[in-house]
């Protein structure tokens, strides 16, 4: 029994399977890239920098506990 490349599944319907596999790989990569870029802009919250500064001021002792609580509520918003 001979096994030629041209008589094997690579030449008949096998090309469709390989094309589908390659298409799925590229589309998955594109989907991952889009989702990564879309969610990346939401990684940092708008008030997080202000909250970090407030935490540092409280840790240094620049503000007391009551003032810290009021300012934290202001930063968090309604």
Neighbouring CB atoms inside 10 A of 54's CB total 19
Q: What is the mean pLDDT of the chain?
A: 81
Evaluate if residue 43 carries a pLDDT over 60.
yes
Confidence of residue 75 (pLDDT cuts 50, 70, 90): confident
Residues 68, 58: contact at Cβ < 8 Å?
Answer: yes
**Maximum mean pLDDT: which of 7-16, 21-30, 49-58:** 21-30
Taking a C-beta distance cutoff of 8 angstroms, is the pair 11, 5 a contact? yes
Give residue for tokens 């810290």: 68
**Structure confidence by residue, pLDDT tens digits, 32-41:** 998 888 877 7
Chain centre to alpha carbon of residue 10? 37
Domain boundaries, the chain: 1-42, 44-78
pTM over 0.75: no
């Amino acid at each position: 029994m001979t096994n030629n490349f041209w008589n094997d599944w690579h030449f008949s319907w096998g090309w469709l399977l390989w094309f589908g596999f390659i298409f799925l790989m590229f589309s998955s990569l594109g989907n991952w890239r889009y989702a990564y870029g879309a969610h990346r802009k939401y990684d940092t919250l708008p008030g997080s920098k202000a909250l970090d500064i407030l935490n540092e001021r409280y840790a240094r002792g620049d503000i007391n506990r009551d003032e810290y609580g009021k300012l934290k509520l202001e930063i968090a918003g309604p």
